[in-house]
Protein backbone atom coordinates (compact mmCIF):
# COMPACT_ATOMS: atom_id res chain seq x y z
CA UNK A 1 0.00 0.00 0.00
CA UNK A 2 1.38 3.34 -1.06
CA UNK A 3 1.60 6.50 0.92
CA UNK A 4 -1.70 7.72 -0.52
CA UNK A 5 -3.38 4.50 0.58
CA UNK A 6 -2.05 4.84 4.09
CA UNK A 7 -3.21 8.45 4.24
CA UNK A 8 -6.62 7.42 2.92
CA UNK A 9 -7.01 4.66 5.48
CA UNK A 10 -5.91 7.04 8.26
CA UNK A 11 -8.35 9.64 7.03
CA UNK A 12 -11.17 7.10 7.03
CA UNK A 13 -10.17 6.02 10.55
CA UNK A 14 -10.17 9.58 11.79
CA UNK A 15 -13.51 10.18 10.12
CA UNK A 16 -15.01 7.09 11.72
CA UNK A 17 -13.64 8.10 15.13
CA UNK A 18 -15.00 11.59 14.69
CA UNK A 19 -18.40 10.18 13.82
CA UNK A 20 -18.34 7.95 16.89
CA UNK A 21 -17.40 10.87 19.13
CA UNK A 22 -20.02 13.06 17.48
CA UNK A 23 -22.58 10.31 17.95
CA UNK A 24 -21.73 9.99 21.62
CA UNK A 25 -21.92 13.76 22.11
CA UNK A 26 -25.23 13.99 20.25
CA UNK A 27 -26.56 11.00 22.18
CA UNK A 28 -25.61 12.59 25.48
CA UNK A 29 -27.21 15.86 24.45
CA UNK A 30 -30.41 14.12 23.40
CA UNK A 31 -30.45 12.13 26.62
CA UNK A 32 -29.70 15.26 28.61
CA UNK A 33 -32.51 17.15 26.87
CA UNK A 34 -34.92 14.29 27.51
CA UNK A 35 -33.88 14.23 31.14
CA UNK A 36 -34.21 18.00 31.37
CA UNK A 37 -37.68 17.83 29.85
CA UNK A 38 -38.58 15.19 32.45
CA UNK A 39 -37.22 17.41 35.21
CA UNK A 40 -39.18 20.41 33.93
CA UNK A 41 -42.32 18.29 33.71
CA UNK A 42 -41.97 17.18 37.31
CA UNK A 43 -41.28 20.75 38.43
CA UNK A 44 -44.40 21.99 36.64
CA UNK A 45 -46.40 19.25 38.35
CA UNK A 46 -44.97 20.28 41.73
CA UNK A 47 -45.64 23.95 41.10
CA UNK A 48 -49.28 23.22 40.35
CA UNK A 49 -49.65 20.77 43.25
CA UNK A 50 -47.99 23.05 45.82
CA UNK A 51 -49.62 26.29 44.72
CA UNK A 52 -50.48 28.40 47.76
CA UNK A 53 -52.06 31.78 47.14
CA UNK A 54 -52.10 34.44 49.84
CA UNK A 55 -55.79 33.80 50.50
CA UNK A 56 -55.08 30.08 50.86
CA UNK A 57 -52.24 30.76 53.28
CA UNK A 58 -54.58 32.89 55.38
CA UNK A 59 -56.99 29.97 55.53
CA UNK A 60 -54.16 27.75 56.78
CA UNK A 61 -53.25 30.35 59.42
CA UNK A 62 -56.87 30.57 60.60
CA UNK A 63 -57.14 26.76 60.75
CA UNK A 64 -53.95 26.52 62.81
CA UNK A 65 -55.14 29.25 65.22
CA UNK A 66 -58.34 27.29 65.82
CA UNK A 67 -56.36 24.11 66.51
CA UNK A 68 -54.02 25.96 68.87
CA UNK A 69 -56.90 27.27 70.98
CA UNK A 70 -58.51 23.82 71.02
CA UNK A 71 -55.24 22.20 72.07
CA UNK A 72 -54.80 24.67 74.93
CA UNK A 73 -58.38 24.07 76.06
CA UNK A 74 -58.38 20.27 76.44
CA UNK A 75 -56.24 17.16 76.06
CA UNK A 76 -56.89 15.40 72.78
CA UNK A 77 -59.14 18.16 71.53
CA UNK A 78 -56.89 19.17 68.65
CA UNK A 79 -54.53 17.88 65.98
CA UNK A 80 -51.95 20.07 67.75
CA UNK A 81 -51.02 18.50 71.08
CA UNK A 82 -49.92 21.83 72.62
CA UNK A 83 -47.84 19.99 75.22
CA UNK A 84 -46.81 21.59 78.50
CA UNK A 85 -43.05 21.64 79.01
CA UNK A 86 -42.93 22.88 82.64
CA UNK A 87 -40.26 25.32 81.42
CA UNK A 88 -41.46 28.60 82.88
CA UNK A 89 -38.14 30.44 82.94
CA UNK A 90 -35.68 30.83 80.08
CA UNK A 91 -31.92 31.58 80.35
CA UNK A 92 -31.14 35.10 81.51
CA UNK A 93 -27.53 35.26 80.35
CA UNK A 94 -26.17 35.17 83.89
CA UNK A 95 -25.60 31.40 83.79
CA UNK A 96 -22.04 30.41 84.64
CA UNK A 97 -20.22 27.09 84.68
CA UNK A 98 -19.92 23.86 82.69
CA UNK A 99 -23.06 22.25 81.27
CA UNK A 100 -23.60 18.93 79.47
CA UNK A 101 -26.27 17.93 76.98
CA UNK A 102 -27.47 15.05 74.81
CA UNK A 103 -29.46 15.69 71.65
CA UNK A 104 -31.48 12.80 70.17
CA UNK A 105 -34.04 13.53 67.52
CA UNK A 106 -33.18 12.17 64.11
CA UNK A 107 -30.70 9.94 62.34
CA UNK A 108 -27.86 11.42 64.41
CA UNK A 109 -27.36 12.34 68.03
CA UNK A 110 -24.96 14.81 69.61
CA UNK A 111 -23.06 15.05 72.87
CA UNK A 112 -22.20 18.55 74.06
CA UNK A 113 -20.20 20.25 76.77
CA UNK A 114 -20.29 24.04 77.05
CA UNK A 115 -18.76 26.53 79.45
CA UNK A 116 -20.73 29.73 80.05
CA UNK A 117 -19.12 32.90 81.34
CA UNK A 118 -21.99 34.52 83.25
CA UNK A 119 -22.78 37.25 80.73
CA UNK A 120 -25.29 37.17 77.87
CA UNK A 121 -23.87 35.40 74.79
CA UNK A 122 -20.72 34.57 76.75
CA UNK A 123 -19.81 31.03 75.63
CA UNK A 124 -16.22 30.50 76.72
CA UNK A 125 -15.78 27.07 75.16
CA UNK A 126 -17.76 24.22 73.67
CA UNK A 127 -17.11 20.66 72.54
CA UNK A 128 -19.53 18.72 70.34
CA UNK A 129 -19.42 15.17 69.00
CA UNK A 130 -21.90 13.76 66.51
CA UNK A 131 -22.67 10.11 65.89
CA UNK A 132 -25.12 8.43 63.51
CA UNK A 133 -27.73 6.16 65.04
CA UNK A 134 -27.33 2.62 63.64
CA UNK A 135 -30.59 1.82 61.78
CA UNK A 136 -31.14 -1.40 63.73
CA UNK A 137 -31.27 0.58 67.00
CA UNK A 138 -34.13 2.73 65.68
CA UNK A 139 -36.42 -0.30 65.65
CA UNK A 140 -34.74 -2.54 68.25
CA UNK A 141 -35.11 -2.24 72.02
CA UNK A 142 -35.01 0.81 74.28
CA UNK A 143 -32.25 -0.84 76.34
CA UNK A 144 -29.98 -1.16 73.30
CA UNK A 145 -30.69 2.40 72.15
CA UNK A 146 -30.00 4.06 75.50
CA UNK A 147 -26.99 1.86 76.20
CA UNK A 148 -25.51 3.03 72.89
CA UNK A 149 -26.14 6.66 73.88
CA UNK A 150 -24.70 6.16 77.38
CA UNK A 151 -21.61 4.51 75.90
CA UNK A 152 -20.98 7.49 73.60
CA UNK A 153 -21.48 9.91 76.52
CA UNK A 154 -19.06 7.91 78.68
CA UNK A 155 -16.36 8.07 75.99
CA UNK A 156 -16.97 11.80 75.61
CA UNK A 157 -16.63 12.45 79.36
CA UNK A 158 -13.51 10.29 79.65
CA UNK A 159 -11.78 12.47 77.06
CA UNK A 160 -12.51 15.63 79.04
CA UNK A 161 -9.30 17.58 79.36
CA UNK A 162 -7.42 14.49 78.11
CA UNK A 163 -7.41 13.21 81.65
CA UNK A 164 -5.44 16.20 82.98
CA UNK A 165 -8.34 17.76 84.88
CA UNK A 166 -9.35 16.49 88.35
CA UNK A 167 -12.77 14.85 88.62
CA UNK A 168 -15.64 17.26 89.36
CA UNK A 169 -16.53 17.83 93.02
CA UNK A 170 -20.27 17.77 92.37
CA UNK A 171 -22.34 15.40 90.30
CA UNK A 172 -22.57 16.40 86.67
CA UNK A 173 -26.02 17.52 85.54
CA UNK A 174 -27.22 16.67 82.07
CA UNK A 175 -29.79 18.26 79.79
CA UNK A 176 -31.51 15.78 77.47
CA UNK A 177 -33.01 17.02 74.21
CA UNK A 178 -35.44 14.30 73.14
CA UNK A 179 -37.19 15.43 69.98
CA UNK A 180 -40.27 13.22 70.00
CA UNK A 181 -43.80 13.82 71.35
CA UNK A 182 -43.59 13.52 75.14
CA UNK A 183 -46.18 14.19 77.82
CA UNK A 184 -44.09 16.00 80.40
CA UNK A 185 -44.75 15.36 84.07
CA UNK A 186 -42.06 17.77 85.26
CA UNK A 187 -39.19 19.74 83.77
CA UNK A 188 -36.99 16.63 84.00
CA UNK A 189 -39.40 13.79 83.27
CA UNK A 190 -41.94 12.74 80.67
CA UNK A 191 -43.72 9.83 79.01
CA UNK A 192 -43.18 9.01 75.33
CA UNK A 193 -46.43 9.44 73.39
CA UNK A 194 -45.18 8.05 70.09
CA UNK A 195 -42.12 7.75 67.91
CA UNK A 196 -41.53 9.75 64.73
CA UNK A 197 -38.68 10.27 62.22
CA UNK A 198 -38.15 6.59 61.46
CA UNK A 199 -37.98 5.35 65.07
CA UNK A 200 -40.39 2.53 65.97
CA UNK A 201 -39.49 0.94 69.34
CA UNK A 202 -43.00 -0.06 70.43
CA UNK A 203 -42.01 -1.23 73.93
CA UNK A 204 -40.84 2.31 74.74
CA UNK A 205 -44.17 4.02 73.97
CA UNK A 206 -45.89 4.96 77.23
CA UNK A 207 -42.65 4.67 79.20
CA UNK A 208 -40.79 7.32 81.18
CA UNK A 209 -37.95 8.65 79.02
CA UNK A 210 -35.61 10.01 81.69
CA UNK A 211 -35.71 6.79 83.70
CA UNK A 212 -34.62 4.80 80.63
CA UNK A 213 -31.62 7.06 80.07
CA UNK A 214 -30.76 7.28 83.77
CA UNK A 215 -30.69 3.47 84.07
CA UNK A 216 -28.23 3.29 81.18
CA UNK A 217 -26.02 5.97 82.78
CA UNK A 218 -26.04 4.24 86.17
CA UNK A 219 -25.28 0.90 84.55
CA UNK A 220 -22.06 2.36 83.16
CA UNK A 221 -21.14 4.06 86.43
CA UNK A 222 -21.57 7.58 85.04
CA UNK A 223 -22.08 10.06 87.88
CA UNK A 224 -24.56 12.19 85.94
CA UNK A 225 -28.17 13.21 86.62
CA UNK A 226 -30.73 14.11 83.95
CA UNK A 227 -31.74 17.57 85.18
CA UNK A 228 -33.88 18.63 82.22
CA UNK A 229 -35.84 16.85 79.49
CA UNK A 230 -36.76 19.12 76.58
CA UNK A 231 -37.85 19.02 72.97
CA UNK A 232 -35.43 20.39 70.36
CA UNK A 233 -37.72 23.37 69.79
CA UNK A 234 -37.50 24.24 73.50
CA UNK A 235 -33.71 23.90 73.40
CA UNK A 236 -33.60 26.19 70.36
CA UNK A 237 -35.82 28.72 72.13
CA UNK A 238 -33.60 28.62 75.23
CA UNK A 239 -30.49 29.29 73.12
CA UNK A 240 -32.21 32.09 71.21
CA UNK A 241 -33.36 33.70 74.47
CA UNK A 242 -29.86 33.34 75.91
CA UNK A 243 -28.56 35.51 73.08
CA UNK A 244 -31.59 37.83 72.80
CA UNK A 245 -34.11 38.29 75.61
CA UNK A 246 -36.83 39.29 73.12
CA UNK A 247 -36.92 35.77 71.63
CA UNK A 248 -40.27 34.12 72.47
CA UNK A 249 -40.67 31.38 69.84
CA UNK A 250 -38.60 28.80 67.97
CA UNK A 251 -39.12 26.70 64.84
CA UNK A 252 -37.36 23.51 63.75
CA UNK A 253 -37.16 22.50 60.08
CA UNK A 254 -35.10 19.32 59.72
CA UNK A 255 -35.91 15.59 59.69
CA UNK A 256 -39.23 16.80 61.06
CA UNK A 257 -40.72 20.22 61.74
CA UNK A 258 -42.10 21.68 64.96
CA UNK A 259 -42.49 24.91 66.92
CA UNK A 260 -42.77 26.13 70.50
CA UNK A 261 -43.53 29.49 72.06
CA UNK A 262 -43.95 31.22 75.41
CA UNK A 263 -47.64 31.25 76.42
CA UNK A 264 -49.43 32.94 79.34
CA UNK A 265 -50.43 30.33 81.92
CA UNK A 266 -53.92 31.82 82.25
CA UNK A 267 -54.48 31.02 78.55
CA UNK A 268 -53.74 27.31 79.08
CA UNK A 269 -57.29 26.34 80.04
CA UNK A 270 -56.64 22.58 80.25
CA UNK A 271 -54.51 23.11 83.36
CA UNK A 272 -56.35 25.87 85.19
CA UNK A 273 -54.82 26.70 88.52
CA UNK A 274 -51.30 26.11 87.24
CA UNK A 275 -49.04 28.72 88.79
CA UNK A 276 -45.57 29.70 87.66
CA UNK A 277 -43.20 32.31 89.00
CA UNK A 278 -42.99 33.98 85.60
CA UNK A 279 -46.70 33.82 84.75
CA UNK A 280 -45.88 31.94 81.53
CA UNK A 281 -44.86 28.55 80.23
CA UNK A 282 -43.25 27.26 77.05
CA UNK A 283 -45.74 25.22 75.01
CA UNK A 284 -44.54 22.52 72.59
CA UNK A 285 -47.02 22.70 69.72
CA UNK A 286 -46.07 19.46 67.92
CA UNK A 287 -47.27 21.13 64.74
CA UNK A 288 -45.77 18.37 62.59
CA UNK A 289 -49.11 16.62 63.10
CA UNK A 290 -51.11 19.61 61.87
CA UNK A 291 -53.27 19.04 58.84
CA UNK A 292 -55.76 21.19 56.99
CA UNK A 293 -57.74 20.70 53.80
CA UNK A 294 -56.22 23.98 52.65
CA UNK A 295 -52.71 22.51 52.67
CA UNK A 296 -51.60 21.11 49.31
CA UNK A 297 -50.71 17.42 49.22
CA UNK A 298 -49.02 15.85 46.21
CA UNK A 299 -48.74 12.24 45.08
CA UNK A 300 -45.16 12.28 46.42
CA UNK A 301 -46.41 13.19 49.90
CA UNK A 302 -48.95 10.36 49.77
CA UNK A 303 -46.42 7.75 48.60
CA UNK A 304 -43.78 8.83 51.14
CA UNK A 305 -46.31 8.76 53.99
CA UNK A 306 -47.58 5.30 53.00
CA UNK A 307 -44.05 3.85 53.02
CA UNK A 308 -43.01 5.45 56.32
CA UNK A 309 -42.82 3.47 59.60
CA UNK A 310 -45.65 5.64 61.03
CA UNK A 311 -48.19 6.29 58.24
CA UNK A 312 -50.74 9.07 58.79
CA UNK A 313 -48.66 10.51 61.65
CA UNK A 314 -46.45 13.61 61.44
CA UNK A 315 -47.15 13.76 57.69
CA UNK A 316 -43.99 14.91 55.95
CA UNK A 317 -43.47 16.87 52.79
CA UNK A 318 -41.36 15.26 50.11
CA UNK A 319 -39.10 18.26 49.40
CA UNK A 320 -35.91 16.77 50.96
CA UNK A 321 -36.19 13.95 48.43
CA UNK A 322 -36.53 16.06 45.28
CA UNK A 323 -32.83 15.71 44.46
CA UNK A 324 -33.08 11.93 44.63
CA UNK A 325 -36.26 11.75 42.60
CA UNK A 326 -35.06 14.05 39.83
CA UNK A 327 -31.34 13.38 39.55
CA UNK A 328 -30.36 10.11 41.24
CA UNK A 329 -33.27 7.90 40.29
CA UNK A 330 -32.41 6.58 36.83
Tell me if residue 197 is catalytic.
yes
In angstroms, the CA 284 to CA 183 distance is 10
Give the three-class secondary structure for 280.
strand
Query: Strands 108-117, 96-104: parallel, antiparallel or unpaired by DSSP?
Result: antiparallel
Residues 6+ apart with CB under 8 A from 142: 201, 203, 204, 207, 212
Residues 6+ apart with CB under 8 A from 268: 72, 84, 274, 281, 283
Q: Which helix (H) or strand (E) holds 247?
A: none
| Residue from 88, 103, 147, 232 carrying the catalytic annotation | 232
Tell me if residue 183 is catalytic.
no
Are 289 and 311 in contact by the 8 Å Cβ rule? The answer is no
CB atoms near residue 87 (< 10 Å): 25
Strand partners, 323: none
Distance of CA 300 to the CA centre of its chain: 20
| Residue from 197, 219, 270, 303 carrying the catalytic annotation | 197
Q: How far is CA 118 from CA 121, 122, 124, in A?
A: 9, 7, 10
In angstroms, the CA 286 to CA 177 distance is 15
In angstroms, the CA 127 to CA 113 distance is 5
Catalytic residues: 197, 232
Amino acid sequence: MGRRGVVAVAAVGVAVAACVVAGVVVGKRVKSRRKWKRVMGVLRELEEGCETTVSRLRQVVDAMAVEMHAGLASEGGSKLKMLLTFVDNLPTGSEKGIYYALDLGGTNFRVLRVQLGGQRSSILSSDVERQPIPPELMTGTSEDLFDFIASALQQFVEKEGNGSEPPPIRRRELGFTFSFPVKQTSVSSGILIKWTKGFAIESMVGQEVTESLQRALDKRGLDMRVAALVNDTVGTLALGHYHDEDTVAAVIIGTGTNACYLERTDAIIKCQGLLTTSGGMVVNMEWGNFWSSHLPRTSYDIDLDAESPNPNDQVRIFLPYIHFLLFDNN
